[in-house]
Amino acid sequence: MTKSALVNLFQRYLKAFKCYDLSTIKQCYHLPCTLHTPDKVAYLANESDFEQEILQIFTVLQQAKVSEIKITKATYSESLNDAVDVCIDWVFIDENGEVFADFCAFYHLTKVVQKFKITSVVSHELSNSVELAENISVQLSNVK
């Protein structure tokens, strides 16, 4: 049950990023949440903060002319109290086929009303990727 729920969540998440779908991305998160990058930590306490942060990410991706987003590896481990940790390796490719960004992101999820929601994301250089207990396959070959 956990594996299929995670695949479903991250397939929706991936598709939403590819389509710049703020509403669907918001459904994947529990507020408040935190987004950690090497440059900053964003504490998103409400919908307005969340929307502003995600729209900034969309702007960066659009300016970089990202045309493809891939998950190259995804693993997870279950914790106590309906918590799950997920590590995903991402690749963002621009319209010229060049890698715009590649990194790993470590997600902490909690179960809220029987659905997993992201409460924290920590992004690192790809060399810091962690192999967790179980693999999941998250691919949307039909979404461009």
- pLDDT of 29-45, one tens digit each? 999 999 999 889 999 99
Per domain, the residue ranges of the chain are 2-134
pLDDT reported for residue 140: 58
Percentage of the chain beyond pLDDT 90 is: 72
- 2-134: CATH topology is Nuclear Transport Factor 2; Chain: A, (3.10.450)
Q: CA nearest 115: which of 7, 25, 5?
A: 5
Average pLDDT over residues 84-111: 94
Token pair listed for 105: 């992101």
Q: What is the identity of the amino acid at 24?
A: T
pTM for this entry: 0.90
Q: Are 46 and 13 in contact (CB under 8 A)?
A: no
Token pair listed for 125: 């250089």
Percentage of the chain beyond pLDDT 70 is: 95
38 preceded by cis ω (within 30°)? Answer: no
Q: What is the end-to-end Cα distance of the chain in Å, rounded? A: 28
Cα 38 from chain centre: 16
